[in-house]
Structures are given as structure tokens and as C-alpha cells.
Structure 1
């Protein structure tokens, strides 16, 4: 099976969110099961010289963008056993950030059409399936059907579209149809690309792909409801027959407390005392009192409303009145950055706010904290709780999306469960569960069992890669 995996970012080259981790670790996992999977992303200016200088120039060609023909270079680099291709155009990709530009519609119109053109130059690699991810590649299935089916090389190609976060949809002016995509006005209808007064890239992916997946089973059900559906719930109910939920995983080689050189002391199920060395170091490094008997709660998160920070804001004084320490790492909305800075200054022995992001500090939080708080309003899959489980840092989560699928609430009687959870999006429900976790933490023997339950949780790509492989096979065989 030949798969072309299309993404707007991929670790370690460029990363703004969880999609980058998926675009690196899922193809790597699939490669092990004899799938010829290759990844293509834009060649951004921010990709470090360490990688850029090792890239091999493959080809250069023109890409139709409406009435224009724009230059595109194609570069190749083998990394972690996976073939990565990079589309090069300085006008579109030589920018400080990958997204958020006034001309994002043009950038990703070029990218979508460019991916289809690039297939002609991949040394005989004609994919059976193009696997598109999020709105940035949502137009590929549309353009494939509109402009490429006449070519024998493209006639049997099938498409999969994965929703990583439905909130981000890529909606642009109606003029984009002819001006940038080369499509006529017949595509501006409710059953095609029309979304209110604009054109929706994500709608293109949902309607024109052969199969649609999203990143957890719970989220696949949630997005068919108005609360989570971002005005697309009607459409998603209509394509229910081709919608699957497949849970994301993490790369066990990248995230392994037994061999992690980013933490102070490696540890595992039989050496959990070493986790306390990481805790003590973390407390000292961030200026908190070093005390192994005080539970430390960590948050590594984007500081935005989706992540449930309104709940934390609502009861932050109550949280800080408990015998705990709270560490928050992230950047985002000014309101939340200011909130955590303020309480960090007011309660310097209780709260440390690290406004910014540093992978080494983040990894030390995963290794050194006792608990990991993730009270998201919605969470398609989530990666934070997966890393926390791997590192024996007990998650406290809201039962939504992938959080619901990966964290099972601890049962005091049966001693089962790998974390703590609450159902309603309610600050006091969250506070109640935090108090329960802090109370159980006092019983060190019981707490150790919860930590071990967490570390035994299966959060790798092993099972999910099999599910993707089965879907690829099903699609290739025309079932």
C-alpha cells in the first residue's frame, strides 16, 4: 500500500500543535507494518538549517493558482525511516509563522494544488491513498476530482480526510473559487463548498473524501451534536456512514521515562523513587519549596478558552488554598497569561507560571509532577494526558473527546482506573475532583498503584496504526 500523508506541519521540522506530532509518529508506526507511507509538508522558513541543509532537491515545476502559474520546488529528506517531501516557495512559506496570514487562503490553495502536481515528480511513487489532515489540505480531494481524474496516474487514487480540530475550518471569500482554486460557481452550493457567505476548505475535505476520520471515538460522536459541531453537525450526521474515530497515540521512543535525556533522573515501574528526584529538582528549579509530601499539579497547555482555563480562573483561590503546588507552562490569550502571572506573584510558594514554551522544562513537568490537570471544554484527542500517563503523572480531566477515551476514573473500591475525571463543564465539579485526588495522594501506597495503572496504560500508536492500516486496505480494495 502506498500512502501520501499530507499535513501543514510535522515534527521535528515545524510544530505549532498536536498535528505535527501525529504527522511524525503515525507514519513512523505505519512504516513498521509494511506500509509505504510518505509525508509532504510546506518548506517553511522556520525549519532549522540542521534539516534544510540535508534536503535533496528533487524537482521544480509550476503550480496553477487560479490564472497564475507559481514556482514550486520539491525537496526530500529521509528522517526516522520515513520519506518526507517539502514544497518550496519563498513567497508563500518564507514567513515567521505558518498560519494566521491575510492570504492563508492563497497559501493553502497553492499547497493543495501543489501536492497533486508533486506526485508527478516522486520517482514513480503513485499513492493508492492521499491522507489529508485538517483544513489546510481539505481542497485536495476537491481538486483531485475536478482536474486530475483524466490522468491515468490519478484515476485510482482514493482520499481520507482527518479532522484534528473542527473549530479551525479555513473559511474564505467566495471569490477564492475562481481566483485561486480555478473552480466554477457550481461549487458554491450548500452540498459542496458554500459555508454561509464563504468557501470552506474543511467542507471540501468532509464532502469529497472517501473516508473521514477524527482523533478519538468520543469526539467522532460529539461533533455530530450542535454544541461541538461548529455549525457542521448537520453535515457530519449526513456523512456518518464514512466517519470513523481513531485515537491518536504517542511515540514511545520519544516519550520514555526510562530513557529520557531531557529529565534529571530516569525511572520506570520498578524505580518509581527516582520520580521523586525529578519532583525535587522541578520544585527547586522553579522556586517552589522542595517537599515530596506536597502534591504538585502540572499544566502544559495553550492558554486559551478551549483548555478549560475559565474553570481554573473561577476557583483558583480555592485550588491554592489546598495543600498543593501548581505549575503552569504555556502561552496564549493575554487574559490567562496575566491571570497566572498575577497569582504566581501573589502566591510565590504555591504557583509558578512559566509563560512561554521550552520542551525541556515541559518534559521535566511531566516527569516531576504528581498530577496533570486538563479540564478542557472540548478536546478532540489531547496529547498532554497521554504523555502524563506514560510518565506516571496522574491526569485530572474532563470527560470529553480523547480525554474520555484515555483516562478512566480511579475506583477506590476496585483499585482500577488511571486518573480522575469529572463530567460537567463546571468549576466546582473540577475542584471536587482535585480535592479527591489530593486526599488519596496522602495514602502513598494507594497513590503508587494509581501511578502504575497510568504507566501501564496503552497510549502508543500500536492499535491505532492497525486501525488506519485496515481502513487504508478497505479503501484500496474498494470496499
Structure 2
């Protein structure tokens, strides 16, 4: 079974969030499950510079007049499967992240950039590489949504028989563009319709994936249910309810070759569930690195996140004095909303030794925060899956989470019953309110005051396993179901 995975990001070469982790880990898991995966990614500088053993496959005709593009095939470090790179320097050879410039401003031609990615996927489905042709094209998030639309258009012209899977990583980011830009997408005019890519007078790449894909997946069972409601459907809940029979919630996995305190080379000291002593060394090292008071008795709370409203970080700020007054410490790594960045910077200035703030996304520091923290804060307003809490579990940083999406599927609250059963792994609050968050925070401090119980919960957390092997088997079942139709 030949699977083409289409994604805009790919860990470890290009990452802005969890999408890259998924795109980087899933191919190996699929190969271990017995399928034949390959990748298609845009030719961003980090990708293009890392490509070896490259050969030209075919040019890709642009739907507009200027520029050039071609499909290359080669190898990328860390991947045992062939990779296709869409080489279009005029579109992808730019500074900044994949979607915007160094100031975070979205590129005005993003509709062209990612429409061409979808068009390139369709050309591979049509067999432009004579040595390999996918049976399934698996498109990830809105950036690859037009792959499903282009393949559907190609299929109606009997140019391919490939089936498509579209994975929603975050429904809130939809790839919306003005209607007048539809003419740049290379799609047949009838595709701009309610039964197509039109969404309230705009073009929606996300809706293209949802409407045209043969199967839809998202990254946790709870999120699959939640996005069918008006509260979390982002205007697409009606379409998702209509397609509920093709919608599958498959929980993301963790690549434990990367996210394990036993073998993590960025840590001050390795440790494990059987030999947890090294975690104290990691905590002291993190406190020194971030300018916090080196206090083993102070519970250290960590945040590794984009700084956005979605992540529930206003709750952290609202209850910051509670955390400080109870003797806790906080370290924050991330960037995003300017108001949140300023608020955390102000908190660090007002509470030296107890609050530290670092900007950007430093991969090594992120690992050290998981290893050095006692609690990882993930109070998201909504959360499709969340990888932060899974990394926290692996490193023995107990997650404090809002009961929503993948957070609800992966963290067990420290109720008396679950403490007695040995199944508690963190702290969960139900209502998205400051009071509910504060109660969870108080439970964390109450457990911290009982070291024997804390050690038991940490032990249970570190024994959790959310490997990609389980997720890969579920994806294979989806693929097989499509090919058997």
C-alpha cells in the first residue's frame, strides 16, 4: 500500500508546532506497520539545503503566468523513505517561518504557495513519477487541503484513482483567502461553490480538505466529537456532522526516541521511572539556566507553548499570584500574542527568582523545561490533541489541563478514587474559568505537600505510553477501508 504524506512542516528540519512532530514521526510508524510511505513537502530553505541524492521528477505547471516549479525526489536526514520536494524558489525561498516573514506577517501569496503544494500532490497521484504512484494521498491541515480538491478534479477526468485522507490538526486555522484569488488555484470553476471551497464568500483551504477528502481524521477522539458542535466547529460543524461517517479521531503519538528522559542528550542528567533521581538534577540545572532560585522544595511549573488565547494562558496570568504566594515557580517558553508576551515579561520582572520567561521556540530548552518542571501547564480553551501534556507525562512533569480534546483523552485527574487505583497522572479542571483553574492549582500544591503520593502519581505518569505504533495501525485501517470501497 503506497501512501503519500503531504505536509508543510517536518521535524527536525522545519517546525513551528506539533504538526511538524506528527509529520516527522508518522512515516516511520507507517513503514513499521507494513505500508510504503513517501513524503511531499515544500522546498523551504531548510528542506532544500538538506536534500541529498536528488533527481528531477517532473516540472509542475503553474496556474498563473510567472515563475517555475518542479518536483524533485531525494533523501532527507533522519528519514528512511524517499521524499518529494516541491522546488519553487519564487514561492518558498524566503526568510521567516513557512507562513510569514520575520515579523510574523503572513505572505500575501500564501494561497498560491499552498495551492501549488496540492497541485503537486495531484500530479504525483497521476503518475508523473513513473517508478512510484500513490494509492492514498494523506494531506495534513489546511496547507495541504487543496491536494484533496485537485485530486478529486483529476479523478473526474479519469487521470488518477488515488483516494485521499485529510487530517485536521487545528480547525481554528482554516486558510481563508479572498474569493477573487480562486482564479490562482488551478481548480475548475464549479469548485467555487457551497459544495466546494466557498466559505461565507471566501476560499477555505480547510473546507476543501473536509469536502473533497474520501476520509477525514483528526488528532483525538474527543476533538472529533467536539468539532461537530457549534461551540468548536468554527462554522464547519454542519459539514462535519454531514460527514461524520467518514470522520475518525486518532490520537497523536509520541516519538519516544526523541522524547525520553533516558536518552535525551540535552538534559543535565538522564533519568527514568525506575531511577528518577536525575530529575532533581535537571530541575536544579533549569533553575540556574533560567535565573530562578535553586530550591528543590519549590514546585516548578512549566509552560512550553505558543502564547495565544487558545492555550488558556490568561488563566495562568490571572492566578499567578496564587502560584507565587504558595511558594511555586514558573518558567515560560514561547512567543505569539504581544499582550501575553508583555504580561509574562512583566511578571518575570516583578518576581525575579520565581518567574522566568524565554521567547521563541528553543527545542533544547523545551526538553529541559519538561525534564526540570514538576508540573506542565496546559489549560487550553480548546486543544485538538496536545503534545505538550504527552511530553510532560514522559518526563514526569505532571500535566495540569482543561478537560477538553486530547487533554481529556490522555490525563487522569488526581481524584481520591484514581489515587487509590494508581491511575492518576495529573490535574484536570472542567469549566474554563479562573476559579476552576485555581482549584486544580490548589490540588497540585496539596499533592506536592505529600511527597510519597507525588512520587506515586509521577511514577504512573511516566509509565504512560502513547506510541505512534497504535496510531499507525488506526491510520492503516482507514487506508484499507478506502481501498476496499
- What range describes the TM-score normalised by the shorter chain of this pair? over 0.9
1:353-406 C-alpha deviation (Å, 9 max, x unpaired): 112221111111100111111100111011111111011110000011110111
1:418-461 C-alpha deviation (Å, 9 max, x unpaired): 11100111112111111111111111111111011111112211
1:86 aligns with 2:85: yes
Aligned counterpart for 2:182 among listed residues 177, 180, 205:
177
* Equivalent residue, structure 2, for 1:269: 273
**Structure 2 residue runs without a partner (length 5+):** 100-105
* 1:159–1:210 contact (8 Å) kept in structure 2: yes
Q: Distance in 2 between matches of 1:330 and 1:141?
A: 33
* 2:71–2:120 contact (8 Å) kept in structure 1: no
1:289 aligns with 2:293: yes
Aligned counterpart for 2:387 among listed residues 373, 380, 383:
383
Structure 1 residues 70 and 285: alpha-carbon distance in aligned structure 2, compared to 1, 3 A threshold: closer
1:25 aligns with 2:32: no
Q: Distance in 2 between matches of 1:214 and 1:260?
A: 29
The alignment partner of 2:69 has SS state of strand
Q: Distance in 2 between matches of 1:69 and 1:279?
A: 52
1:190-219 C-alpha deviation (Å, 9 max, x unpaired): 222211111211111111111001000010
Tell me the TM-score normalised to structure 2 length. 0.94
* 1:60–1:71 contact (8 Å) kept in structure 2: no
1:209 aligns with 2:232: no
* Equivalent residue, structure 2, for 1:395: 399
Offset, 1:259: 1.0
* 2:323–2:329 contact (8 Å) kept in structure 1: no
* Equivalent residue, structure 1, for 2:42: 42
* Equivalent residue, structure 2, for 1:166: 171
Q: Distance in 2 between matches of 1:191 and 1:148?
A: 17
User: Structure 1 residues 252-261 or 186-195, which shifts more?
Assistant: 186-195
Note the 1:392-431 alignment, pairs <5 A: 392-413=396-417, 414=420, 415-431=422-438
Note the 1:16-415 alignment, pairs <5 A: 16-47=16-47, 49=49, 51-52=50-51, 54-66=52-64, 70-78=68-76, 79-96=78-95, 97-99=97-99, 100-119=106-125, 120-151=127-158, 154-155=160-161, 157-184=162-189, 186-413=190-417, 414=420, 415=422
Offset, 1:71: 2.6
The alignment partner of 1:142 has SS state of helix
Q: Distance in 2 between matches of 1:353 and 1:317?
A: 16
1:203-236 C-alpha deviation (Å, 9 max, x unpaired): 1111111100100001001111111111111111
Q: Distance in 1 between matches of 2:329 and 2:416?
A: 24
Q: Distance in 1 between matches of 2:277 and 2:184?
A: 62
Note the 1:398-477 alignment, pairs <5 A: 398-413=402-417, 414=420, 415-477=422-484
Structure 1 residues 289 and 179: alpha-carbon distance in aligned structure 2, compared to 1, 3 A threshold: closer
Offset, 1:26: 1.0
Q: Distance in 2 between matches of 1:473 and 1:432?
A: 46
1:34-77 C-alpha deviation (Å, 9 max, x unpaired): 1101111001024474x24x251233413241567843241311
Q: Distance in 2 between matches of 1:455 and 1:59?
A: 45
User: Structure 1 residues 283-292 or 35-44, which shifts more?
Assistant: 283-292
Number of residue pairs matched? Answer: 473
Q: Distance in 2 between matches of 1:441 and 1:160?
A: 45
Q: Distance in 1 between matches of 2:80 and 2:402?
A: 37
Q: Distance in 2 between matches of 1:149 and 1:127?
A: 17
* 1:296–1:326 contact (8 Å) kept in structure 2: yes
Q: Distance in 2 between matches of 1:323 and 1:48?
A: 48
Q: Distance in 1 between matches of 2:430 and 2:398?
A: 17
Q: Distance in 2 between matches of 1:68 and 1:160?
A: 31
* 1:63–1:117 contact (8 Å) kept in structure 2: no
Q: Distance in 2 between matches of 1:179 and 1:365?
A: 44
* 2:121–2:137 contact (8 Å) kept in structure 1: no
* 2:427–2:440 contact (8 Å) kept in structure 1: yes
1:121-162 C-alpha deviation (Å, 9 max, x unpaired): 43521111100111111111221122354455x12x111100
Tell me the TM-score normalised to structure 1 length. 0.95
* 2:301–2:328 contact (8 Å) kept in structure 1: yes
Q: Distance in 2 between matches of 1:210 and 1:331?
A: 36
* Equivalent residue, structure 1, for 2:103: none
**Structure 1 residue runs without a partner (length 5+):** none
Q: Distance in 2 between matches of 1:279 and 1:370?
A: 8
The alignment partner of 1:144 has SS state of helix
